Structure 1
Amino acid sequence: MVGAIVSGRVADIIGRKRAMIVSDLFCIVGWLPIIFSKDIWWFDIGRLFVGFGIGLLSYVVPVYIAEITPKELRGGFTTVNQLMICGGVTFAFLLGTVLAWRTLAFIGTLPCLLQLFGLLFIPESPRWLANTDRENEFESALQKLRGKSTDISQEVEDIKEFTKILNRLPRGNILELFQKRYLRAVIVGVGLMAFQQFGGISGVCYYTSSIFVSAGFSSGRVGTIAYALLQFPMTGVGALLMDKSGRRPLLLVSATGTCVGLVLVTISFLLELSSQSLLKSFLALAGILIYIGSFSLGMGGIPWIIMSEANIPHKHEGCRRKSCHLDELVWCMAYIICLQFSHGLEHSRYLLYIHVHMRPLCCICRFDGTGD
């Protein structure tokens, strides 16, 4: 969370590429005490460093992708970030069924090292270079991204014009975002981020195995593997449909599916004292799979896109970035949800999550898209 809070400032000062390098170094340094931990303090220190690095990446990577991608492809490419996260989670879930946690921690350093090496060969964000008056580097970076044979003259002029307009306009005060003309965009963007987390996704992810065991499975391994294998392809489908079907239809389908999934899980736990053990297990498995499949289709990635597409004028670009950091409050709530999830699991209080997910469904019905 701390890494995410300072990520915008760090990325603006040292650039997107260097910010990613810093985050990789924090992650690598963090994994080492976890691998060689002798007591809980080593583990906590390692998690602190890894958490800071991941928090930094959570802002910088989507921004970098959005800044180097043509507008017509931006939605799908930005969602690829979520797709890769799901791919990593899937891979980690599968490895976790057969490997010890120290071995998993060692494997966790490999993507960091690979990305650190890959960053040596990619250019800095052209828009950041243009905004820091590095004209020659800006054009060189853009040409490298688009290809040597591509005519970038029009795009260069567009970026220069945008940068000039942005720098000439006065800095907006973040309180101005709460004026009536901007309030809807702010509520939609931040609200979707809140609903994304308050739906219990973090708790379900962390306690998937425990949920299946509580539902009557001998172990959570089979259900966890099914969960992991479904998440990745459904996120891919969402990325493909992002710019074709629009944000609102995908959000409606996604929110409806998550509600249905959690209703099935709730019913399975209401059958806890009955003799229908097979039905209870089936409902729990079906509910979790419907939940994660539906979430991955839309609610997982679209709120991040909506935050970047919120209808806020250029003079409030700085405020737009600050408003993006309001979702850090959401991550705080996600942390609280994870802490109390085991208690809720013990007392079968899944109706709370159904109630929370009914709210975004009602709000999304009123959401009319971003215009892109």
Structure 2
Amino acid sequence: NVYGLMIVRVVNGSAVGIYWSVVSVYIGEVAPTRLRGVLGGAVSLAIALGIALTYTFGVAALTDASVPGVTSKVFCNWRLVSFLCTIPSGIQLFTPFVIPESPRWLAMKGRTEEARRVLVRLRGVLPTDPELSEELAALCSAATDTYNLRR
């Protein structure tokens, strides 16, 4: 069904686009300063490579070296490729439920202790780590500045 395929493709493309923008912002908020640019670029690179691989798999599914042109048997493989390429998008639907809140957002809401716990989890350090305290203080300061700008 061509219409069903088009609807699924639009929904899948929209989901990837939304995910791309949200993940970029999230990584910008949770990544350590020294890794922020690299991780932000890695998100864009991973999505672009995923799209390129999807198209590559699609072309591979439509060709058969032993038969010139496209046969009906080979042509059916595009459905399998389309299904397999939607699996990562399906997994993305559930990631918001397992990732922690942004420590920056928690600091902006005045939930400093929760922000500390999230930073401990994300950084894999002890709660008494001095760098953690510095980062949390910087987050709280930035949150205060942002709040004051809004007024």
TM range (shorter): 0.7 to 0.9
- SS class of match (2:60): coil
Question: Does the 8 A contact of 2:58 with 2:81 survive in 1?
Answer: yes
Question: Does the 8 A contact of 2:12 with 2:86 survive in 1?
Answer: no
In 2, Cα distance between the equivalents of 1:68 and 1:93? 32
- 1:159 aligns with 139
Identical aligned residues as a percent: 34
In 2, Cα distance between the equivalents of 1:118 and 1:58? 13
Q: Deviations over 1:193-248 (max 9, x none)?
A: xxxxxxxxxxxxxxxxxxxxxxxxxxxxxxxxxxxxxxxxxxxxxxxxxxxxxxxx
- 1:44 aligns with 6
List runs of 5+ in structure 1 lacking aligned partners: 1-37, 172-372
In 2, Cα distance between the equivalents of 1:117 and 1:49? 16
RMSD (Å) for aligned C-alpha atoms:
2.2
Question: Does the 8 A contact of 2:104 with 2:115 survive in 1?
Answer: yes
- 1:146 aligns with 123
Matched, 1:101 2:78: yes
In 2, Cα distance between the equivalents of 1:59 and 1:115? 13
- 2:31 aligns with 69
Matched, 1:136 2:116: no
**Structure 1 residues 58 and 114, CA, compared in 2 at 3 Å: closer, same or farther?**
closer
**Structure 1 residues 45 and 114, CA, compared in 2 at 3 Å: closer, same or farther?**
closer
Cα distance, 1:90 vs structure 2: 3.5
For normalisation by structure 2, the TM-score amounts to 0.74
In 1, Cα distance between the equivalents of 2:33 and 2:22? 18
Cα distance, 1:148 vs structure 2: 2.9
In 1, Cα distance between the equivalents of 2:3 and 2:55? 25
For normalisation by structure 1, the TM-score amounts to 0.33
- SS class of match (1:97): helix
What amino acid sits opposite 1:141 in the alignment? V
List runs of 5+ in structure 2 lacking aligned partners: 62-76
Cα distance, 1:79 vs structure 2: 0.6
**Aligned pairs, how many?**
133
**Structure 1 residues 109 and 42, CA, compared in 2 at 3 Å: closer, same or farther?**
same
What amino acid sits opposite 1:147 in the alignment? G
Cα distance, 1:106 vs structure 2: 0.7
- 1:54 aligns with 16
Question: Does the 8 A contact of 2:12 with 2:89 survive in 1?
Answer: no
- Which among 65, 68, 91 is matched to residue 53 of structure 2? 91
- Which among 146, 151, 169 is matched to residue 149 of structure 2? 169
Cα distance, 1:118 vs structure 2: 5.3
Cα distance, 1:120 vs structure 2: 5.0
Cα distance, 1:113 vs structure 2: 3.7
Cα distance, 1:132 vs structure 2: 2.7
Alignment of 1:258-269 (within 5 A): none
In 1, Cα distance between the equivalents of 2:57 and 2:101? 34
What amino acid sits opposite 2:57 in the alignment? L
